[in-house]
Structure 1
Amino acid sequence: MTTITVDAFTASADGTRIAYDLTGPTLGLAPVIVVVDGVLAHRLPVTLAVAAELGDRATTLRYDRRGRGGSGDTPPYSVDREVDDIAALLDVTGPAALLGISSGAFLALRAAADLGDGVTGVLCYEPTYDIASGEPPTDPRMIAGVENCIEAGDPGSAVELFLDVVGMPCRLLPRMRESPSWADLEEIAPTIAYDGRVLAGVALGRRALMGRWNVITQPVVVADGAASAASVAVAAESLAAVLPAARRVTLPGHGTDVPPRAMADAVAALLRTAGVP
C-alpha cells in the first residue's frame, strides 16, 4: 500500500530548508527515485501520478528545488548548492536514482557526476539541450534578462521573457496571464535564471559536464515522447551518445502528456538496470 508524507523538510549544507514528500513504501523497504523538476515546475500532479503507478515497486521523493514552493533560498545561487540540496535528500533516503525532467535532467546528471555512488542511476526525460549542436547551452536572456526583470521588481516580465525564449506564441500570453497558475509562476520566476545556469554549466565553468561525461558511470536512461517535437528527439540522441552507460527509450505521448504508467515502467526498468531489486 502506498503512503503519502506531505511537508517533510531537511536542511541543505548552507542551511536552506528543502521541502519534500514521499510516496510509496516506508524508506528502506523499496528502492528510491528522487524527482528533479525542470524550469518553473515543482511537485507537479503528473509526478504524483507516476509515484502512485510505481506503487510498491519504489518510494518516490518529490521535492521543491530551492526558491520554489515550500523550500527556502539562500543567496548567492550556485549549481553546487543545488547539488548539495540533492545530497541532503540522499542523506534522508540513502542511495537513490534520479528522475530529471527537462532542464532538471542536467542537474540530475551533475549530481550523478558529483555524488558518485549516492546516485544509483538517472532517467533523463526530454533533456532540453542538443549536446552535438555546438550552440551555447542557454539563451543569455534566460540568465541576465530574467535577473534584470527580477531586480526591477517585475517577475511577470521575467516569465514572459522565458516563454519567448522557448518559443511560445505571443497570442497565448493573455490567456497565460489570466490562468490561476500565473501567480505561482511569478513567485518562482527568479529560479528561471537558476535553470539557465544549470544549462550553462553543461559546457561552461570549472566543473562543466562537457568534460566529465566519462565520470557518469551509473546507468542512464534518456527518454523522449513519441509525439514530442523532432528537436527533443535530437537532443535526447545527442545526450545518450556521450554517456558511458546510457540507453535510449521513447515513451508514448509527449511532455507532461506521457501516461504515468509508461513513465513508472521506465523508472522501474532503470532501477532494475541499476541492480536494485
Structure 2
Amino acid sequence: MTTTTVDALTTSADGTRIAFDLTGPGRGLAPAVVVVDGVLAHRMPVTLAVASVLGDRVTTLRYDRRGRGGSGDTRPYSVDREVDDIAALLEVTGPAALVGISTGGFLALRAAADLGSCVTGVLCYEPGYDVAGGEPPADPRMIAGVEACVEAGDPGSAVELFLDVVGMPCALVPRMRASASWPDLEAMAATIAYDGRVLAAVALGRRALMGRWDGIDQPVVVAHGAASAAQVAASARSLAAVLPAARRVTLPGHGTDVPPEAMAEAVAGLLGISP
C-alpha cells in the first residue's frame, strides 16, 4: 500500500504560512480528507497511521494549525482566521471531508457551516464538550489564564494550567514536565487559548455555532472510543443529537489509543468508500 507523504506549505488569506503533509494520490484522484487537530496536538502519529491505512484510496492532508509546528501565527487570533486556513488547504485538496479531533471537531463543524459545499462531511472524534449540558463552553482559565501566563513569559505554567482544567492529577505534572514532549507542549502553549476560543464560539457570539446546527447539512460522523470516559460518550451523544445529518459510532480503545484501522474504517464510511 502506498504511504508516500509529501511536505508542503500554503498561504492563508491573512498571509500566514500553513505547513501540511499530503499522503495519497492527490487532488482529484481520490476522495480527500483534511485532519484538524485538537488542543496541544499537531500531526499526531495516529493520524499518519490512519493515512497509511487509507493509502491510495484517499488523499489525506494533515496540517499544523496556526502557531504550531511549521505554521506561522499572525495576530490577533480569531476563529475566522482558522477557518480561512482550512479554506486554503481545501484549495490544495479540492472539496474534502474534515476529520476533527477533540476541540478540532468543533473547528471542523464551524468550517462546515462557513464553507458549505467545499466541506463534504465531518468526522468529529471525541469532541469533549456536552452541547446539551448547559455548562460554559470553555473554562475561562483556558483563555484568560493561559494568555496571562504566556504574556508573562511562562509557557510551562500555561500548560500546567490547562492540564489542571482537564483534570490531570497534580502528582502527574512533574512526570509530564520531565517527559521528552514537554518542550513541544510549551512551544504550543499560546494556542491553548485558541482552542478555548473555538469552544467559546460554540455557544457565544453573533455567529455562535449552536444557532447554526441546522445549517450543517453535510454528513457528520461523531465517534468516541469504547474505553473512553463516560463524559466523552455523553458529549458525543449530545452532539450527534443536534446535527441534522449525523450518526454516532463507537470505536475500540480510547483517545489516541484507538486502532488506526478502526479510525480509517470510520473515515471510509463517511466518504462512502469500501473500508
* Secondary structure of the corresponding residue to residue 116 of structure 1: helix
Q: CA contact under 8 A between 1:2 and 1:52: conserved in structure 2?
A: yes
CA distance in 1, matches of 2:80, 2:14: 11
Distance in 2 of aligned mates of 1:26 and 1:100: 20
Equivalent residue runs for 1:2-151 within 5 Å: 2-151=2-151
Shift of 1:7: 2.9
- 2:59–2:93 CA contact under 8 A, matched in 1: no
Contact 2:221/2:270 (<8 A) preserved: yes
Q: Shift in Å at residue 3 of structure 1?
A: 4.3
Q: Equivalent pairs: percent with the same residue?
A: 82
Aligned residues: 275
Q: How far apart, in 2, do the equivalents of 1:7 and 1:149 lie? A: 33
What are structure 1's unaligned runs of at least 5 residues?
Answer: none
**In 2: Cα distance, 1:265 partner to 1:116 partner:** 25
**Structure 1: how far apart are the matches of 2:261 and 2:87?**
28
| Deviation per residue, 1:217-252 (Å, 9 max, x gap) | 000000000000000000000000000000010000
Instruction: Provide Cα deviations, 1:65-95, integer angstroms capped at 9, x if missing partner.
Output: 0000000000000000000000000011110
Give the aligned partner of residue 265 of structure 2.
265
TM-score (norm 2): 0.98
Contact 2:5–2:24 (Cα < 8 Å) also in 1: no
Offset at 1:173?
A: 0.7
Q: Distance in 1 between matches of 2:132 and 2:119?
A: 26
The runs of 5 or more residues in structure 2 that have no matched partner are none
- Give the letter aligned to residue 237 of structure 2: E
Q: Which amino acid aligns with 2:210?
A: M
Across the aligned residues of Structure 1 and Structure 2, the Cα RMSD in angstroms comes to 1.3
* TM-superposition CA deviations, 1:242-267 (whole Å, max 9, x none): 00000010000000000000000000
1:189 aligns with 2:210: no
Partners of 1:220 and 1:246 within 8 A in 2: yes
Question: Which residue matches 1:218?
Answer: 218
User: C-alpha distance in 2, partners of 1:56/1:236?
Assistant: 30
The normalised TM-score by structure 1 is 0.97
